[in-house]
A and B are shown apart, each in its own frame.
Chain A
Amino acid sequence: MLRFLIAVIRRDLKLAARRKGDWLTSQFFFVMVVSMFPLGIGPDPAMLSKVAGGVLWVAALLAALLSLSRLFADDHRDGSLEQMLLSPNPPVLLALGKALAHWLIYGIPLLLIAPVLGVQFALPGDAIGVLMLSLLVGTPVLSLLGSVGAALTLGLRGGGVLLTLLILPLYVPALIFGAGAVDATLAGVGAEANLSLLAAFMVMTLLVSPWVAAAALRVSIE
């Protein structure tokens, strides 16, 4: 069981390593979207630090959705997804492995880029630390919930936009607690409450999403 999970993750990591363009696109998308905001709302550092948490989090949601539309699509096109579902291994582990691999490939780099962008937005050091922490706890939610949407929209026309429409409302709690943690640090009230709630939400999605995603995969494939 565990070996299958690790095999799924390793396979996706290897594929990502060989097609660097794919995942770099998503990271640059994140950086560019965030960089557009100061141009739009002005360079005042006081204002920028106020909106930084929200802007970075919204950009992270969009970047995740952009990459999620391809989560199962390539495997579906060459038929390997069907083979993996036909194998005796539980599809739940396949869905979980795919989501975890997505998090490793797209979530972790976001987390590492975020401090640089935080500096650009004039965030103080402790807020940058909390921002990274909130992304560390929150980005798994994006990958896990997004895997459900990716499985539901597999092979549909306009899948990418549709995925955004389906999943963005479900991301609301992650956005609120994630950006809220940064805001709370800036306001000096401490980010523990927001981070704990975000972690609770993450654990819940970890428990529910792989099952729903596996069921959705079966619906989409049959």
Chain B
Amino acid sequence: MSSSIAWFKFAAPMTFYGLAGRLIPWFAWSAGLLAAIGVYIAFFVAPTDFQQGEAYRVIFIHVPAAWMSMFLYLVMAFWSAVGLAWNTRLSFMMSRALAPTGALFAFLSLWTGALWGKPMWGAWWVWDARLTSSLILFFLYVGIMALWSAIDDPRRGDKAGALLTLIGAINVPIIYFSVKWWNTLHQGASISLMKAPTMAATMVTGMLIMTFAAWFYAIAAAMIRVRGIILERERHTEWAAEILEGK
């Protein structure tokens, strides 16, 4: 029971503001450290791929970015559901704080994918199932952020954004499969991303380390952003006014 009490305690924006402030340096420094190790492995330890040459090294940023773009959408959907179910203000704020980072990772995965595609496939862009569904995921992020920015009333914006996030989450698997079938229907299995032979162990290690770096970065960035949102929303309360004047 004691743990559940602590959860509710930190669901209050005021206490979470302090907690986030204490946690941010930890996540930010671990993200930086892990990224440094990951980049070192990516460039100096991991062997050159015998099929793809040096260009494959972009996967060390591409794969974590793609994973995070999908994972963060799920986290957003989770916070939206929690917010709609229990009407907790902090959940909506978390969802808002996560969206820009998610969109950033989605964009990054598309961009690095193009950089990888040019030497590998000879084209910056192919209408591959994964590329297309990543693009649509990016559109979903943009749509949700556009809706938030169009609604001035924070309460309405929170709930409207949460509803859109959830209906998007229901749609994501359908979109993925429809795009996949569409793709096989149109051009046959001309390109397969999974054709590559099993990866060397150092490659997997580097990629996992980079994934954790991206994850911790996302947590740190979202917490910094959520602190800003909390202060903006709570500026009329005493404690927030004290912090704002202290600066």
Q: Which positions in A face B, CB cutoff 8 Å?
A: 148, 152-153, 156-158, 162, 165-170, 172-173, 176-177, 180, 183-184, 197, 201, 204, 208-209, 212, 215-216, 219-220, 222
Contact = CB atoms under 8 A, between A and B. Distances in A.
Contacts of B151: 156
Nearest to A161: B146
Closest 3 A/B residue pairs (Cβ): A173-B178, A169-B139, A219-B159
Given A152-B147, A165-B142, A172-B179, A208 B160 contact: no
A201 B174 contact: yes
B29 to A, nearest CB: 37
A39 B43 CA distance: 51
Contacts of A170: 167-168, 171, 175
22 contacts: A148-B163, A153-B147, A156-B150, A156-B151, A157-B150, A165-B139, A165-B146, A166-B147, A168-B139, A169-B175, A170-B171, A170-B175, A172-B136, A172-B175, A176-B182, A180-B185, A184-B185, A197-B181, A204-B174, A212-B166, A219-B160, A222-B156
Interface in B167-205: 167-168, 170-171, 174-175, 178-179, 181-182, 185-186
B140 interface: yes
B178 A162 contact: no
What band does the interface of chain B fall in when counting residues whose beta carbon is under 8 Å from A?
20 to 34
A219 B159 CA distance: 7
A176 B178 contact: yes
User: Which residue among B139, B144, B179, B182 has the maximum number of chain A CB atoms within 10 Å of its CB?
Assistant: B182
A212 B167 contact: yes
A33 to B, nearest CB: 21
A155 B146 CA distance: 15
Nearest to A179: B182
Contact of A173 (B150, B164, B174): B174
Given A166-B146, A170-B171, A215-B163, 6 more contacts: A152-B160, A153-B147, A157-B150, A180-B181, A183-B186, A219-B163
